């Protein structure tokens, strides 16, 4: 993509992170895991799954921060805020809920209201709090929330230095000496921002993002088949620069400032907790199908997937990863960087599975786990943080 929807502020100054961050990782027991990490990420077929944690170093909010800022941006007395507060009340005593959970709930409620209205049900409205809302009112509320997210993200001053360093490492140092015909790197990003495609463009890496055109483009899944690209970017949850225009059924990528009142949906974001639609012409289903194919390499092929900045809060993504590990016949290696002290949830499940644990390498906050190998630490190991990982991939020790 030639131009970002964000106001990108290039960090000209050198990396100011203290080298002391790497002190704990210089112990001899971590030399082999780090060496293996760089070797694996130098393989011919590499893929990355990037979550919100990868955008914090650029000045963007994580999901918790974004949630709070969206709530602040919608006045208490506003009808949309009443709907949102009512939805939030559905999650009483639930842990770690974010704006994505609330949007997912709205999507589900809209589907219920649509079904009732289409059938001519007497009680077509959805009760939220003490008020019933139609599908149209709920859809309007969802659109407003998405617009607030867009405004918040594009309103931040972006520091893209670390992402450029990441791209330089992946397409430069880690690919040094390899044939030009090496397979493209797949970037599956769960974030709405445009940091990855911006960094790729700034580093002059030929890329495909599913669109034809330039800063303003139209969706064409066949764009991913371009044999000349070195990178493919898949926005699994959509993007702040996607929208449905006029009577479109597939998204446009619209340069910021060109949007008008005729849009049917101002920002095309598909919440994390919502079941991905399976319609053939749905971009989210198309992206998910490509992800499935990538994680199930053919015979005599292998793929390495690095998961960074993702807290495993999307059950549908977790299910896809779990199924891929089971069905790949050992040809998929997953490298996880997690801020948890040690593996938990789905990571612990993989660790306990004798058929899977050899293909999962976990760099946790307090240890390294691979197969039967377990190295635990009494101090924090910062390799799970995106900006520290970038330094390691760049060769810093």
Question: CA separation (Å) from 382 to 49, 367, 379, 392?
Answer: 19, 10, 10, 11
Q: Residues in the chain with pLDDT < 70?
A: 1-19, 176-181, 259-266, 275-281
pLDDT score, position 215 = 85
The correct CATH number of 8-60+158-393 out of 3.30.300.20, 3.40.50.1220, 3.40.50.300, 1.10.357.10 is 3.40.50.1220
What percentage of the chain exceeds 90 in pLDDT? 75
pLDDT score, position 328 = 94
pLDDT tens-digit map of 25-70:
999 999 999 999 999 999 889 999 999 999 999 999 988 999 999 9
pLDDT score, position 8 = 47
Place of tokens 């006029």: 246
pLDDT score, position 265 = 64
| 217-229 burial: b if 16+ Cβ within 10 Å, else e | bbbebebbeeeeb
Nearest one of 9, 8, 18 to 385, comparing CA atoms: 18
pLDDT score, position 98 = 92
What's the CA gap between 177 and 309, in Å, rounded?
29
Q: How far apart are the first and last CA of the chain?
A: 33
Q: Give the start-to-end residue ranges of the domains of the chain.
A: 8-60+158-393, 63-154
pLDDT score, position 13 = 42
pLDDT score, position 140 = 94
* Nearest-10 Cα torsion for 244, 247, 252, 254: -70
- The region that residue 158 occupies, defined by phi over 0 for left and psi between -120 and 50 for alpha, beta otherwise, is beta
pLDDT score, position 245 = 82
Alpha-helical regions (H) of the chain: 31-40, 63-73, 79-89, 99-118, 135-154, 161-171, 195-202, 283-294, 315-327, 345-352, 386-393
What's the CA gap between 22 and 393, in Å, rounded?
13
pLDDT score, position 163 = 98
pLDDT score, position 254 = 87
The continuous run of DSSP H or E covering 187 comes out as strand 185-189
pLDDT score, position 9 = 46
Specify the DSSP class assigned to residue 23: G
pLDDT score, position 19 = 58
pLDDT score, position 180 = 46
pLDDT tens-digit map of 239-276:
999 988 877 888 999 887 776 655 556 678 887 777 66
């Amino acid at each position: 993509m030639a131009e970002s929807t964000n106001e990108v502020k290039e960090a000209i100054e050198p990396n100011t992170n203290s080298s002391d961050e790497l002190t704990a990782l210089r112990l001899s027991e971590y030399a082999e895991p780090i060496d293996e990490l760089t070797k694996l990420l130098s393989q011919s077929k590499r893929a990355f799954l990037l979550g919100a944690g990868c955008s914090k170093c650029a000045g963007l909010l994580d999901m918790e921060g974004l949630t709070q800022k969206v709530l602040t941006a919608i006045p208490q007395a506003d009808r949309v805020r009443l709907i949102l507060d009512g939805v939030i009340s559905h999650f009483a005593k639930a842990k770690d809920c974010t704006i994505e959970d609330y949007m997912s709930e709205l999507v589900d409620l809209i589907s219920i209201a649509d079904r009732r209205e289409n059938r001519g049900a007497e009680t077509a409205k959805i009760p939220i709090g003490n008020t019933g809302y139609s599908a149209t009112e709920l859809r309007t509320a969802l659109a407003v929330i998405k617009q607030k997210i867009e405004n918040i993200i594009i309103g931040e001053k972006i520091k893209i230095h670390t992402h450029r360093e990441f791209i330089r490492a992946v397409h430069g140092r880690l690919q040094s000496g390899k044939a030009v015909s090496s397979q493209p790197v797949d970037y599956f990003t769960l974030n709405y921002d445009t940091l990855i495609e911006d960094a790729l463009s700034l580093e002059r890496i030929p890329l495909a993002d599913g669109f034809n055109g330039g800063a303003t483009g139209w969706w064409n899944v066949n764009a991913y088949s371009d044999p000349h690209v070195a990178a493919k970017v898949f926005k699994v949850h959509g993007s702040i620069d996607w929208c449905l225009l006029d009577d479109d059924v597939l998204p446009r990528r619209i340069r910021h400032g060109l949007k008008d009142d005729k849009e049917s949906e101002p920002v095309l974001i598909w919440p994390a907790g919502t079941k991905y639609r399976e319609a053939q012409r749905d971009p989210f289903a198309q992206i998910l199908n490509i992800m499935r194919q990538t994680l199930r390499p053919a015979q005599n092929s292998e793929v390495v997937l690095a998961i960074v900045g993702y807290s495993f809060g999307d059950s549908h993504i977790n299910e896809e990863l779990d199924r891929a590990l089971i069905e790949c016949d050992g040809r998929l290696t997953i490298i996880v960087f997690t801020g948890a002290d040690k593996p938990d949830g789905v990571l612990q499940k993989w660790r306990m599975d004798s058929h899977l644990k050899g293909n999962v390498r976990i760099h946790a906050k307090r240890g390294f786990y691979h197969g039967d190998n377990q190295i635990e630490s009494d101090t924090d190991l910062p390799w799970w943080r995106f900006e520290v990982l970038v330094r390691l991939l760049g060769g810093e020790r």
